[in-house]
Amino acid sequence: MQVTWKKIDPKDYTDEILAVALLQGEKLPFPEITKTIRKESFEGKTDQTYTLDTLGKFPFKKLFLFGWGDKKDFHTDLIRRFAGVAIRYAVKLKSDRIGLVLPSMSSANTAQSLTEGAVLANYSCTKFKSKKEDVFEVKEAHILTKENVQDAVAHAAILANAQNYVRDINENPANIATPQMLAEEAKKLARQNGLGITILEKSDLKKMKMNAILAVNQGSDVPPVLVVLEYNKHKKNLPLYAVVGKGITFDSGGISLKPAKGMQEMKYDKTGAVTVLGIAKAVSELQLPIRLIAAFAATENLPSGSAQKPGDIITAYNGKTIEVLNTDAEGRLILADTLAYVAEQKPEAIIDLATLTGAIIVSLGRHRIGCFSNDDKLANVLFAAGEETFERVWRMPLDQEYIEMNKGAFADISNIGSEKGEAGSITAAAFLREFIGDCKWAHLDIAGVDHIADSHGYLGKGASGIGVRLVTNALEKLAKK
């Protein structure tokens, strides 16, 4: 979809639908229509909608109203939701073009949120449906304001398109999205965006003693990969940052098998890896003044005669020994080798994204991402980025006592901190900490937000792509420091 700024008066808008968002009690910019709307029908309450045929009074045919509720409860995500709901209305009417108006505010920030909401709501995954006749996408959204917001629109379109790119790859189930397929997607991105790329195949991982990745892969019939993308690789004067993702293309639990109910959702256990691709796409298209390493290991986690077994002891890439007490705690194993490998480059900071624990959903539900960090500044930047993008994070503790919980009986560490699952997401984060050397680091447990179960304002059911706008925004902030 093309989003463009138009400096025209809303009353002169000539395409079919004009959508207007109003705070509670706020007056429409068209006095001639205001009288015809009964107060009971539209008061501007939060999420209230109203549509009206303009019956030839205006060049546009339909007026779509969206309520923002009381001014004191206003937050910028309501702007994304307005754009999202308006776009869905245009989709329902099969209308190619729509105008969006915010009478009470007009700035670069609001244009950014409008663009994000519109582009995100216009996406739906239809590639696995054989009947295509119901598929419709809006072609153009016009933002009507006096102020020139063209740059904000272009910036937001890059971010939202990168998020849709993640949703589209992540929606592929495990029979299609194999580790090899993720490597192919990374190659395609590297070619299109001029990134450096290194792909370590199974034989390379063996030579390099990446035994934790190999151990998880043991039960699978398809080989693992470790992919490293590099943006601005040769611009050594720019500060280096790294993002790392968990790429389990299917998590059955392995020998510590998961229950059957809901297991299909474990096709989304590659979300961290795919999100890292989206971040590399956004950062390179925004041309941020940093160097970036975007890395992920990918493998299936399956049970078989060759699968790793509870009690197995392995030596990770950094030399630490791990007792695998539960083969379903596999994400931290593949991340261990990937983080240790990336930490060798000594980046200013490493941010990892992983659908790491069910426990984070118990703690935070599906509204906030768990953030764990050894650096207050980095944690604060991520918090601020979360509030702006509405991909909100909440910092969790990482005290010494939690680190002690992973102490192994037979090896240096165990891959679970407690048989009872106590502090499950914290001990998982504490495990990762063993593999980052002296780097500043933040771990984002995105298990609660990887997919949307019931569609909301601007994201439909399915892979959410949450994390791309968050981490890219954080990197933009770090680049400015």
Query: By C-beta, is 8 or 362 nearer to ligand BES?
Result: 362
Binding string, 249-288, against Zn ion, x = CB under 5 A? --x-----------------x-------------------
In angstroms, how far is CA 429 from the centroid of its own chain?
A: 19
Positions in 334-363 near ligand BES (CB under 6 A): 355-359
Q: How far is the CB of 284 from ligand BES (least distance, A)?
A: 29
Q: How far is the CB of 413 from ligand BES (least distance, A)?
A: 13
377 given a catalytic annotation? no
- Quote the tokens at residue 50: 């109203």
Does residue 217 interact with ligand BES by CB under 6 A?
Answer: no
Scanning 321-417, the segments in alpha helix (DSSP H) are 331-343, 359-364, 376-389, 400-404
Residue 278 CA to residue 119 CA, distance in Å, equals 15
Orientation of helix 271-285 relative to helix 179-193, angle to 10°: 0
Residue from 84, 331, 370, 386 that binds Zn ion (CB under 5 A)?
331
Positions in 397-426 near ligand BES (CB under 6 A): 416, 424
323 — alpha (psi -120 to 50), left (phi > 0) or beta? beta
Q: How far is the CB of 456 from Zn ion (least distance, A)?
A: 25
Annotated catalytic residue: which of 291, 332, 440, 469?
A: 332
80 given a catalytic annotation? no
Q: Which stretch binds Zn ion (CB under 5 A): 62-70, 111-119, 166-174, 320-328?
A: 320-328
Sequential DSSP letters for 331-344: HHHHHHHHHHHHHT
> In terms of residues, how long is the chain?
481
What is the C-alpha radius of gyration for the chain, rounded to an integer number of angstroms? Answer: 24
Residue from 328, 337, 434, 476 that binds Zn ion (CB under 5 A)?
328
Residue nearest to ligand BES according to CB distances in the complex: 358
359's contact among Zn ion, ligand BES, none, with CB below 5 to 8 A by partner kind, is ligand BES
Q: How far is the CB of 258 from ligand BES (least distance, A)?
A: 7
- Quote the tokens at residue 261: 């109910």
- Quote the tokens at residue 146: 């006096």
424's contact among ligand BES, Zn ion, none, with CB below 5 to 8 A by partner kind, is ligand BES
In angstroms, how far is CA 310 from the centroid of its own chain?
A: 32
- Sequence-distant (≥ 6) Cβ neighbours of residue 470 within 8 angstroms: 369, 382, 385, 386, 389, 391, 393, 444
Residue 269 CA to residue 273 CA, distance in Å, equals 9
Query: By C-beta, is 124 or 415 nearer to ligand BES?
Result: 415
Which residues bind to ligand BES, rule: CB under 6 A?
251, 269, 326, 328-331, 355-359, 416, 424, 447
Catalytic residues: 258, 332
